[in-house]
Amino acid sequence: MRAPLGRCGTLLLLVLACAAAPAAAQVIGGEVVAQGTGRLVAGAVVVLVDGAGVQRRGVLTDDAGRFRMEAPGVGRYTVRVERIGYRSSEYPAMELREGDVVLRRWSVPVEAVELVGVDVDAERRCRVRPREGLVTNRVWEEVRKALNASRWTEDQALLRYEVELYDRLLDGRRRPVRTEERRAWEQQGVSPFRSLPAESLARGGYVQERDGSTYFYAPDAHALLSDAFLDTHCFRLQAGRGERRGLVGLAFEPVDRDRRAEVRGVLWVDRLTAELRFLEYGYTGLRIDDPERLGGRVEFERLESGPWFVRRWWIRWPRMQVLPADSRGRPLRVEVMDGYREVGGEVTGLAAEEDR
């Protein structure tokens, strides 16, 4: 359904205020409903894709299944509605002219995505951008939806975070905590867990030297969804065992391991709900003893109203110490590992944006 500005009277049932739109804006909105039942769908991700296949805008439907977003300009666009655990819907492309307002009911299927019967041994090869139809692609699509929801939750500044951060030193053997500092922190909109921009990580790697110090990085949702990451990493399935029983893992690793320090890991997905649970990651290309102890974990969570966020995270890297002399006092200036440093945090409180 299409209506020019100033002629929205027949569409008031969608409760979208046309008067609030700028004079030259192109607005798309409406209600997302389930096919067959007409039930309003809260927390769905509505994505606006341009003619080149690039995601230009994305929003989450509110508690009443409604959304509103502005296109970046005139042109040809496609609307896609995504729900984790269900088949996505993509609607015929539309041509938006200056000042167009498109308001309608967007009906989505209730066909569930089946991950319970996924055979992790069916595709052992590690694939860059697994093709549609492959089992690996089926799992990646559910991971992508969760990461997309996390990204748009942050971009819309939907949440205010109350966070407890910690910074601890660990012993190098059994890793007991030597020292620990904690502090509380509050922030609106921006996720407390953020990485460097994907392009910077693609150029410099996930372990970078700068100003005489070494920095270790982890991928966030923006990095994992970027072309720079997807073009340089391959994916394969991994079975969940032990505490990961009931999960299926989407493992990733760098295509070129010899180039520089890179990141590898596993995104763990619930077989029943198809929801992303957590990411475990480590590093490749490091010249260090016992690199398996380095890396970290990122845990994802979804609110009942739809927004996704990072609940807990931590990252661990080696703590280096310079030995100026040996036992006889002779100068050495040798750098040796003296335990680990671990930094992490947990979201202890959440509040929705007051004026949605």
278-283, Cβ contacts within 8 angstroms, sequence gap of 24 or more: 279/219, 281/218, 281/219, 283/206, 283/207, 283/216
Same domain, yes or no: 158 and 94: no
**3-class DSSP state of 119:** coil
Q: Please give the Cα distance from 256 to 232 (Å, whole number).
A: 7
Q: Please give the Cα distance from 196 to 222 (Å, whole number).
A: 9
Domain boundary among 111, 130, 146: 111
Domain boundary among 46, 77, 111: 111
Q: Report the number of distinct structural domains present in the chain.
A: 2
pLDDT at residue 329, as a whole number = 63
Same domain, yes or no: 162 and 94: no
**φ/ψ of residue 222, rounded to 5:** -60, -45
pLDDT at residue 351, as a whole number = 82
Same domain, yes or no: 214 and 310: yes
pLDDT at residue 127, as a whole number = 92
Cβ 25 vs Cβ 6: under 8 Å? no
Specify if 138 maps to a domain.
no
Same domain, yes or no: 87 and 189: no
Same domain, yes or no: 202 and 287: yes
Rounded to two decimals, the pTM is: 0.84
Specify if 59 maps to a domain.
yes
pLDDT at residue 292, as a whole number = 78
Question: Nearest Cα to 194, choosing from 151, 162, 140, 164?
Answer: 151
Specify if 158 maps to a domain.
yes
Domain boundary among 111, 140, 167: 111
Same domain, yes or no: 49 and 198: no
**3-class DSSP state of 196:** coil
The amino acid at residue 62 is D
The amino acid at residue 22 is P
Same domain, yes or no: 158 and 99: no
Question: Nearest Cα to 306, choosing from 197, 171, 148?
Answer: 148
Specify if 219 maps to a domain.
yes
Specify if 268 maps to a domain.
yes
Q: What is the block-wise mean pLDDT of the chain (356 residues), using blocks of 10 residues?
A: 33 38 76 92 93 91 93 95 93 94 93 87 87 89 94 84 93 80 87 88 89 89 94 94 94 84 95 95 84 90 87 91 64 68 93 57
In terms of DSSP H, where are the helices of 167-285?
198-204, 221-225, 227-230
Specify if 71 maps to a domain.
yes
15: CATH: 2.60.40.10
Same domain, yes or no: 85 and 212: no
Element (H, E) at 152: helix 135-155
Same domain, yes or no: 228 and 339: yes
Q: Which residues contact 258 (CB under 8 A, 6 or more apart)?
A: 285
Same domain, yes or no: 171 and 84: no
Classify burial at 30, counting beta carbons within 10 Å of its beta carbon; exposed 0-12, middle 13-18, buried 19 or more: buried
Q: Please give the Cα distance from 136 to 127 (Å, whole number).
A: 9
Question: Which DSSP category does 91 fall into?
Answer: P
pLDDT at residue 334, as a whole number = 57
Q: Which residues contact 87 (CB under 8 A, 6 or more apart)?
A: 109, 111, 112, 113
Q: Please give the Cα distance from 159 to 184 (Å, whole number).
A: 17
Sign of the dihedral through C-alpha 323, 288, 266, 225:
positive
Q: Please give the Cα distance from 164 to 349 (Å, whole number).
A: 9
Same domain, yes or no: 276 and 338: yes
Residues of the domain holding 42: 2-111
pLDDT at residue 1, as a whole number = 35
Specify if 337 maps to a domain.
yes
pLDDT at residue 159, as a whole number = 86
Same domain, yes or no: 269 and 201: yes
pLDDT at residue 193, as a whole number = 87
